[in-house]
Structure 1
């Protein structure tokens, strides 16, 4: 049975790529055929004449099913700004239907787990009338919400969950991601979100540099999906 999820965050730098890569590595350890996709990314460097986004490269390398970079990250924009602004500056039009086509094409490759990572938060514009959430709506995959635990996260998480529900999608669960400095009243904030969000807390990611400990956390996260 295939499992497919769309990974979003409460804002940019919430830890979406960290979670996506961690889950893909856990899937590889479990012997699963896994695919990670980053359909649109803004912020890239030229490698051998081709634009490459660091997050997309991490996702490509963590997947057990090897796809060409162009399948993992079909729309790569050079400037690290909002995707629709970067696209406009490059004279390109990015549409939800085109991204959907890229994603569905890549997912024709046999797999058991697929993670599609968004860009920024839930309501990131693609153009003057569409948002990345429109792509998620068409895919209709359950959503994994990454919450970076810092001041303001309660509002951002609750509003994002409301928007996901309004779009008719299922919030599979949320993940508490902790940075190098633990926020004040961390436990109380996690408890508040646990009581106010309709989806379960899949796990809490502590700030940890020990690879073995991190791997164990992600193995548990994968089993919770």
Structure 2
């Protein structure tokens, strides 16, 4: 495993491990919206696929397509897997137009999310793959329905390992510690914590986040625009 605070960048070694002999499901969640879940998930997909692993990246719930056929997040994961937009239904179950919490975005269209259908779909779509990357939506407390949160969704998939993406910024440490506390109280501590410099805040801010979160889990530091080689944290 990478050491706490491992720096992943364009000079980091590519994954060289052979295909896995076990099936793994990894749930990617974050401290908030735009923390970098899709960026990290897409980077993992590209590297794991290039290493010869049979991988699928799922974005089961997406909102904010704003008139387009699919959301930008779904489009990014399709591109990372070299899949055409026409296959979006293979990686995305719920696709809403408004850039709102899923429960509200669904209501805008007279729809609703069925938690049991969501769970069954995730399980079915993961079959036959070495690794399934399941990207959540927003943070843990985002409502999928009026009484079903992302945290409930995660809790209903006990086999999933958890990767938490933290956006390095002012206030980011507080958001990270609150999210980690929630996961710990759920009995689901994060397996990996990726500190992402999506806003180009620089080395000092990254170092402060690293210091504050050093005891929380396996830390991976991602400088601005350099989340290219993250796979060894999963393959090792």
Checking the alignment, whether the CA contact within 8 Å between 2:39 and 2:227 is kept in structure 1 is no
Cα drift, residue 184 of structure 1: 5.0
Cα deviation per residue 1:98-140 (whole Å; 9 max; x = unaligned)? 21122112112x1111110011111110111111221111112
Alignment match, 1:2 = 23
Q: How far, CA to CA, are the matches of 2:116 and 2:181 in structure 1?
A: 24
* Greater CA drift, 55-64 or 166-175: 55-64
* SS of match in other structure, 1:134: helix
Checking the alignment, whether the CA contact within 8 Å between 2:195 and 2:209 is kept in structure 1 is no
Alignment match, 1:92 = 111
Alignment match, 2:62 = 41
* SS of match in other structure, 1:100: helix
Q: Which runs of 5+ in 2 are unaligned?
A: 1-21
Alignment match, 1:53 = 71
* SS of match in other structure, 1:147: strand
Matched, 1:78 2:97: yes
Alignment match, 2:221 = 204
**Which of the pair is proportionally richer in helix?**
1
Matched, 1:218 2:236: no
Checking the alignment, whether the CA contact within 8 Å between 2:61 and 2:137 is kept in structure 1 is yes
* Greater CA drift, 162-171 or 73-82: 162-171
Q: 2:206 aligns with which of 177, 186, 201?
A: 186
RMSD value over aligned CA atoms? Answer: 2.1
Q: Which runs of 5+ in 1 are unaligned?
A: none
* SS of match in other structure, 1:116: strand
Cα drift, residue 46 of structure 1: 4.7
Cα drift, residue 218 of structure 1: 2.3
Cα deviation per residue 1:115-166 (whole Å; 9 max; x = unaligned)? 1001111111011111122111111211100001101111111111111122
Checking the alignment, whether the CA contact within 8 Å between 1:151 and 1:183 is kept in structure 2 is no
Q: TM-score, normalised by structure 2?
A: 0.82
Q: How far, CA to CA, are the matches of 1:105 and 1:148 in structure 2?
A: 31
* SS of match in other structure, 1:194: coil
Instruction: Give the structure, 1 or 2, with the largest relative contact order (CA under 8 Å, sep 6 or more).
Output: 2
Checking the alignment, whether the CA contact within 8 Å between 2:60 and 2:94 is kept in structure 1 is yes
